[in-house]
Amino acid sequence: MKAAVIVFPGSNCDRDCKVAIERSTGAQVDMVWHAETALPDRVDLIVLPGGFSYGDYLRCGAMAALSPVMAEVKAAAERGVATVGICNGFQILCEAHMLPGALLRNEKLKYVCKPVELEVTNAQTRFTAGYAGRRQVAMTVGNGEGNFFADEPTLDRLEGEGQVVFRYVDNPNGSSRGIAGIVNPKGNVLGLMPHPDRAFEAELGSADGAILFQSALASA
């Protein structure tokens, strides 16, 4: 198994993701600089990590969405490769139009960093199958612009088509309908604000994030 973690200027969770994937799955993990125009051969999982790509100038993720490597990320996702955007990575996926909606400033205009409980609203995706019927999992959030927003028709479609994967039990940032993570219609692109890379071992307070990475690679 092979994974690629994309590194943008300002990424600060790229090494966290590498370690989390390696320890959770034993997969080989390659770090890919954003200016590259190719991905490693036969990659099974692509991760866009958290951080502050390009210093969050313009809009969070807007500049990173135009990085050269994103053309290859999009092409791989179109081929069905599992792709995960975590926190800033979720913002990048939305800005790249790989997922609908946008991430706005948190409702109370404050940075939120704390453990959160999540409801697994769709356990039939390639990212959540390993939760084996569990309805709640624990991860952490750390964001100032994690307020997921979409218009009502889009929200209705996401709900109706099973694209809402995670929902906050106690919504920390004002996200529409408490949405914490969504997938694309094909089910191979996941964006979520909580950090599975900060919850992959019991010593971190939760090992629930490990299951997400294990599920994604098992499906490959």
Radius of gyration of the chain (CA): 15
CA 131 from chain center: how many Å?
A: 17
Active site residue 87: yes
Give the C-alpha separation, 92 to 165, whole Å: 18
Residue 195: closest CA among 21, 27, 62: 21
CA 154 from chain center: how many Å?
A: 19
The active-site residue out of 87, 94, 97, 113 is: 87
Give the C-alpha separation, 80 to 51, whole Å: 25
Tell me the three state secondary structure of residue 89.
helix
Give the C-alpha separation, 60 to 2, whole Å: 28
Q: Which residues form the catalytic set?
A: 87, 195
